[in-house]
């Protein structure tokens, strides 16, 4: 919405840093802290946000119980060749087989699995509601008349998406750790290399996993914000993000496109398994963090460019 459009449709527009008509002289712009609190409070008052978080908390529990019943009951598990399967270590069993005996593997295995689809879906929903949703309901103009510059508006919305990404990742890891401890006990704090770990070792590794997953999800959220700034339909954002991730995963399976794989965001997910090994290798995690950072910068830049130039 341009200043001219706002002036015509909703009264005189106020440029950033200029006192709006009728506002006290000290109120040049809405306080940033109040905007952030209002945004976070509004996000977690949405029923769908609470439902998705509850589902994320339940999935590691269901996974842990299912694996424990399957392997604990003596039923054979077709795990494939040794070292095969998602997240398998070289020369070791697949990650979901290891979950039955390691309380540490369950939270990280659940996080890796949910990062493929469910967690990006959660962030895409938040990003779609942030701009496209408010635009479709006509509430975005209230932000611009507060007065709030478009750069501050994007910052507030990005922080809201960041909080959703952090809380969602933390819920998955916390639920998985509690479930793993209840099923395997403290004796189950072992790495995929077979070495025992102290609770301190486990907690800092899980902290790194949550931070890395939050950065990964913010990269997804930045792309979603760029789409959200270009449409009035939140579902377009969700479909666009999930469609892009699915296509990326498919392309990762095509060996003829090896040259393209380093540029695809989901190629970083396998590096999380390094946190389960002993000693930990940070090479893959650092590469994945750099890749996610590039997506984050590009996505936010596109969102800002679109938000500041769109007419309406």
* Domain chopping of the chain, boundaries: 30-309
Tell me the HSE value of 276 on the side-chain side, using a 13 A CA sphere: 30
Q: Which residues contact 11 (CB under 8 A, 6 or more apart)?
A: 145
Separation of alpha carbons 246 and 243, rounded Å: 5
Q: What is the CA radius of gyration of the chain?
A: 22
Whether 20 shows a pLDDT value over 80: the answer reads no
Regarding predicted confidence, which is higher, 198 or 58?
Answer: 58
The rounded mean pLDDT for the chain is 79
For residue 290, the model assigns a pLDDT of: 96
- Per-residue confidence band for 25, with pLDDT thresholds at 50, 70 and 90: very low
**CA 203 to the chain's CA centroid:** 20
Average pLDDT of the residues in 281-298 = 94
pLDDT of 252 reads 93
With a cut of 70, say whether residue 145 has pLDDT above it: no
Instruction: With a cut of 90, say whether residue 8 has pLDDT above it.
Output: no
Label residue 141 by pLDDT band (50, 70, 90): low
179: exposed, middle or buried (Cβ count in 10 Å: 0-12, 13-18, 19+): buried
């Amino acid at each position: 919405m341009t200043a001219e459009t706002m002036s015509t449709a909703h009264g005189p527009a106020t440029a950033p840093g200029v006192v709006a008509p009728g506002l006290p002289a000290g109120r040049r712009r809405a306080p940033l802290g109040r905007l952030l609190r209002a945004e976070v409070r509004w996000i977690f008052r949405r029923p769908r946000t609470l439902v998705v978080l509850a589902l994320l908390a339940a999935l590691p529990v269901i996974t842990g119980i299912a694996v424990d019943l399957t392997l604990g009951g003596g039923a054979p598990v077709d795990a494939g060749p040794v070292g095969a399967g998602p997240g398998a270590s070289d020369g070791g069993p697949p990650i979901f087989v290891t979950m039955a005996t390691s309380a540490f593997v369950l939270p990280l295995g659940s996080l890796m699995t949910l990062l493929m689809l469910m967690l990006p879906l959660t962030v895409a929903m938040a990003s779609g509601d942030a701009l496209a949703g408010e635009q479709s309901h006509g509430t975005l103009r209230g932000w611009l008349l507060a007065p709030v510059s478009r750069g501050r508006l994007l910052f507030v919305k990005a922080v809201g998406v960041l909080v959703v990404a952090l809380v969602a990742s933390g819920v998955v890891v916390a639920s998985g750790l509690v479930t793993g401890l209840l099923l395997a006990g403290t004796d189950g704090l072992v790495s995929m290399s077979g070495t025992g770990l102290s609770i301190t070792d486990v907690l800092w590794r899980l902290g790194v996993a949550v931070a890395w997953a939050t950065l990964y999800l913010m990269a997804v959220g930045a792309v979603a914000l760029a789409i959200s700034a270009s449409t009035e339909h939140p579902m377009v954002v969700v479909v666009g993000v999930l469609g892009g991730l699915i296509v990326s995963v498919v392309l990762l399976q095509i060996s003829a496109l090896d040259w393209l794989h380093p540029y695809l965001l989901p190629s970083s997910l396998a590096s999380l398994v390094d946190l389960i090994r002993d000693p930990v290798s940070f090479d893959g995690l650092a590469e994945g963090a750099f890749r996610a950072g590039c997506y984050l910068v590009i996505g936010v830049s596109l969102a800002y460019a679109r938000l500041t130039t769109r007419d309406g």
